[in-house]
Amino acid sequence: MPALYKSKEKGKMLFLQRDRCKACNLCINICAVKAIIPDTELNSRAGYPPAPNPESKGCTYCGTCELVCPDFAIYITDLSLLEE
């Protein structure tokens, strides 16, 4: 599931390169609205990457997690790039 959140209204999505993530949790800790939590499944780097938090009100597409990610694994991008 590479797109953690999608907004048709904003034309944006929060995208995760799942196997690029080293599970440092910086994104999870910085998110002001607690939209992401550690996944329950490991990735190929034996870490738990971020996943949507069902207890939250969702992503605001603020881009803060993108700014702190050292591995460029999570970022906001245009929803139109997603082929479905």
71 counts as binding ligand SF4 under rule CB under 6 A: yes
Residue choice 13, 15, 39, 50 for contact with ligand SF4 (CB under 6 A): 50
Residue choice 13, 15, 39, 49 for contact with ligand SF4 (CB under 6 A): 49
| The one-letter amino acid at 6 | K
Q: Strand, coil or helix: what is 73?
A: coil
DSSP string, 29-66: HH-TT--EEE-SS--TTSS--EEE-TTS-------HHH
For ligand SF4, the binding residues (CB under 6 A) are 14, 21-27, 31, 33, 35-36, 49-50, 59-65, 68-69, 71, 73-74, 76
